[in-house]
Amino acid sequence: MQWDEDVCFLVSDRLVGVSEAAVQEIVKKAVKVNFFDKNMLDKFKILTSNGIQNRYKEMAKRTKKPGIKKAYDLDLVNVTETEVNDDKTSVNAPETPVNVPFSTQSKVNESKVNKSNKDSHDSKPAKRVYEPDDLNLKLANYLLTKIRERNSSIYPTDSKNPPDTQKWANDIRLMHERDARSYDDIKRIIEWCQQDSFWQNNILSASKLRKQFGKLIDKADVPNNFNGNKGGRKPLYDLPY
């Protein structure tokens, strides 16, 4: 089963009263107790296990459905990893008859991932910086304030890892420029979603606000018409910042 933010939202949407955060915690716990395979989740964003795959293989044989892709087949993946470790042991045996620990392979993989991430980061253009008087940053901070007013434990003011409001501001800008959402509508939806018993637990960032904006408009009972146009009404500049 493919696992990402959209699937998590759909699961929480079907389980009335269960937030996305709760669903994520359940998945984390399931991975921790080996109900799902951690490597498959980390590498491919897939929820699976040997038991799940074995049952699927039995069903596939009976119904003549396609088998599991080799890259995702845990039986093949585990065999490959064993062969790699055995090769390393045999090569090093003449010099030092010591088994190569699994952690060595993990560190090599981690190093490759870090290098790949660094190369990818270096190729990106410089990030845009939003000044305090920028309306995009003001709305990002407004969303953060509304979340804290409702539940201060979600983003504690003394947290060592506060939310990246610069990134939130960029999502607000994209909503306005690319999605043609007026600043008026963005502000009203922020207020509405943080008062709704379901959406207040699911809209905890500007990126999620942008992703679900269409649904929020349909569900919101707000006097003004949400026409999605930047014209008509002037953007609000009376935010408390």
Cβ-Cβ contacts under 8 Å for 240 (sequence gap 6 or more): 142, 145
Q: Please give the chain's pLDDT, 241 residues, in tens.
A: 787 777 777 777 777 667 888 888 888 888 888 888 888 888 888 888 888 878 877 777 777 778 788 787 887 776 555 554 555 544 444 444 444 444 445 555 566 556 556 655 555 567 789 999 999 999 999 999 999 999 999 999 998 899 999 999 999 999 999 999 999 999 999 999 999 999 999 999 999 999 999 999 888 865 544 444 444 444 444 555 4
What pLDDT does residue 225 have?
43
Cα 45–chain centre separation: 10
What pLDDT does residue 102 have?
44
What angle do the packed helices 102-122 and 74-92 form, to 10 degrees?
A: 110
Residue from 184, 188, 235, 237 nearest 216 by CA: 188
What pLDDT does residue 149 have?
94
Question: Would the pTM count as exceeding 0.75?
Answer: no
What pLDDT does residue 99 have?
47
